[in-house]
Chains A and B, each alone.
Chain A
Amino acid sequence: MIRVEELTKEFTRPKRQAGRFGGLRTLVTREVERTTAVGGVSFRVRPAEVVGYLGPNGAGKSTTIKMMTGILVPTSGTVEVGGVVPWKERQRNALQIGVVFGQRTQLWWDLPLRDSLDLIATLYRMPAPVYRVRLERFVDMLDMSEFLGRPVRQLSLGQRMRGDLAAAMLYQPRILYLDEPTIGLDVVAKATMREFIAEVNREHGTTVVLTTHDLSDVERLCSRVILIDHGRVLYDGTVAELKSRYAPYRTLVLRLADGSDRLQLDPADVAALGAEVVPAAVGADDDGAVRLRFEGERTAASDLIAGLAARYPIADLSIVEPELEGVVHQIYSHRGLPL
């Protein structure tokens, strides 16, 4: 559905001159600063896939999305969306894509929400009965009846975003680009948005490309993630594989019975069972729990627990699964893949 190859976008800006009359000299000099926002990104998205396109601020996510929508012309490389080169046939491409930018709105600020949706239905030449039925369904799914007649400028952020999502999907495009759609929303609004996206994907096979900083969006919606930074792809694969490759460790948290302390736990015993003791983080609250980590693929949790129970008085235990958040945090802060 989407094919991105060696996509590169460089921005040039007049170089700011420092010092006296800096502003004036900036205006008259021809020196430019070149920044590479996207540097040779390639990936493919299959129909009906929901892909999380992740990266830290300034990684080049929005720039890629803008090139996929045809709004930005790339410096080099190609994008093909459903057989259309977006920036060459911008208006034809417009018919097959829906766009939500969390920081902006496509709704008319001073008009009631319904008027904006009416206008979009006209622009995409929807037959009136189709529009009526779909609007009714969207109003129901996104719980919009209360504010449909209110000017957009008076809506809360959550209400406005629901309106924006409805606007983007109204004409049932086969591709949906969501650029930080849940930014700044409360939990309830987030959940409504996610349900709606999952629903249109399931029902109509809509292909979705989602950028977000909220990894629970990704865990809830995406089968696949593409991680980028500095304009380059760092990882492309399933969420599960990302975790097992870069966060292979499961953590066993256990509390020994009263009167025991963790020093009684012999590291050699633990190692024999295929796990290791996680040193307590400096400055962390000592909650009296011991943390052991083990690789889920090599050590079975049941064996480990049975082995430990045979030697030590265990009062309580739980297993913590690796979190996407931790993996991504690690990748972002290393500015590269951990080994």
Chain B
Amino acid sequence: MTAEVLSRTRAPVAPPPWWRQWGSLAHVARSRVAMMFAYRNTMLLFLGVSVIQIFMLTRVWSALYGTRPDVLAMPLHELLVYLTVANLIAWSFPTHMTTMYLRERIREGAVVFDLARPLGFVPQMAAQMAGTLGGALVIIAMALPLILVAGSLSLPAGPAAAGLFVVSLLCAYAIAGMLALLVGMIAFWTLETDGFTMLYVLVSSFLSGALVPVSVFPGALRTLVQVLPFQATTYVPTSIYIGSLRGADALGAIGVQLVWVVVLGLVTALVWSRAVRRVVVQGG
């Protein structure tokens, strides 16, 4: 009772920093998973599209290898595993959820509620992305038999490859998540992100190596890819998985990923602080 009365008369103590609000973060993530499963059919449709993409890539490359076995400096079965894993990783990125959520919240002005929470908006978004990711992994696990039919899968190249793959995948998710957040935050300036998202998805799916491994890109394009963050989201973890990147090369690639995590972390923080300063809520 006394505490209650005191709380009426004094300003509240500031909430703990986000990394000490695990309960809240976990609950936000859980709610997002619940929401994905509220739209089960849409999720399955999206997965269907991805499975079809894997299937088509598998057929096209198999046909190409049938006429010219040396078309790429990579055996066919390795390429097929690469394409399957790469597309599943790319599919599980929460890009669409993030950009759509930000756009809707900003356009409808509901972002006011997200900003008036004792937990920061970026940690809330990160928790939502983690939830999306978790939901996506569950769906992939359920659809595994179908994926095995459409593409081809094998276990990681070895225990070391498996360990490095997990580290590399975590970095990949951090990078892809921050890129999605950056694209989504454009909405703070334009109130619109559909065009940017389409462009981003198109460019990143090609430059990340989800359609063709970046190791076979010709000269100039190869250089371009190496200075952009996209390959760190898909090509690197997938190559480590199939064992075409190993040992010092793999560690070096993970080092580059970590650099991207830091760089994008700084860029995201900067853009976010600018975005908050110019929050213009629609209407009112």
Contacts and interface: CB of A to CB of B under 8 A. Distances in A.
A94 B117 contact: yes
A26 interface: no
A99 B8 contact: no
Contact of A91 (B14, B27, B112): B14
Given A70-B115, A151-B38, A122 B277 contact: no
Contacts of A101: 109, 112
Contacts of A71: 112, 115-116, 279, 281
A115 interface: yes
A contact patch SS: mixed
Interface stretch (A61-69, A276-284, A286-294): A61-69
Contact of A122 (B11, B27, B115): B27
Size band of the interface chain A makes with B: 35 or more
A111 B117 contact: no
A104 interface: yes
B75 interface: no
Contacts of B255: none
- A61, A122, A204 — most chain B CB neighbours (10 Å): A122
Interface in A1-48: 11, 47
B34 interface: yes
Interface residues of B, number: 36
A63 to B, nearest CB: 6
B284 A69 contact: no
- A71, A89, A92, A106 — most chain B CB neighbours (10 Å): A71
Nearest to A13: B280
B contact patch SS: loop
A99 B116 CA distance: 8
A108 interface: yes
A204 B8 contact: yes
Interface in A87-134: 89-97, 99, 101, 103-106, 108, 110-111, 115, 118-119, 122-125
Contacts of A95: 12, 15, 118
A111 B35 contact: yes
A125 B23 contact: yes
Given A92-B14, A111-B38, A104 B110 contact: yes
Interface of A: 11, 47, 61-63, 66, 69-73, 82-84, 89-97, 99, 101, 103-106, 108, 110-111, 115, 118-119, 122-125, 151, 174, 179, 204-205
Given A73-B277, A122-B24, 14 more contacts: A47-B8, A69-B112, A69-B116, A71-B116, A92-B15, A96-B11, A105-B110, A108-B35, A110-B38, A119-B28, A123-B27, A125-B21, A125-B23, A125-B118
Closest 6 CB pairs of A and B: A62-B284, A106-B113, A95-B12, A83-B11, A92-B14, A122-B27
Interface of B: 7-15, 21, 23-24, 27-28, 31, 34-35, 38-39, 108-110, 112-113, 115-120, 277, 279-281, 283-284
